[in-house]
Amino acid sequence: MDWKLWEPLIEFARKRSLWIVSFCTGCGGIEMPPLMTSRYDLERFGMMPNPAPRMADLFLITGYVTPKTLKRIIITYEMQPDPKYVIAHGSCTINGGIYWDAYNAIKRLDAYIPVDVYIAGCMPRPESVMEGINKMMEMIENGTADSWKRYKENYEWYKKNQDELFGEGWREREAKRWIPWIMDDLKRVEKEREKND
Rule CB under 8 A: which residues touch another protein? 9-10, 12-14, 16-17, 19, 37-38, 41, 43-46, 50-52, 54-55, 57, 80-83
Smallest distance, Å, CB 10 to another protein? 5
Nearer Cβ to another protein (58/92): 58
Nearer Cβ to another protein (72/108): 72
Smallest distance, Å, CB 3 to another protein? 8
Distance separating alpha carbons of residues 3 and 187, to the nearest angstrom: 59
CB 16 within 8 A of CB 48: no
Nearer Cβ to another protein (152/187): 152
Nearer Cβ to another protein (16/191): 16
62: nearest Cα among 17, 16, 128, 150: 128
112: nearest Cα among 173, 140, 71, 141: 71
DSSP result, 96-114: -GGGTT-TTS-S-GGGTS-
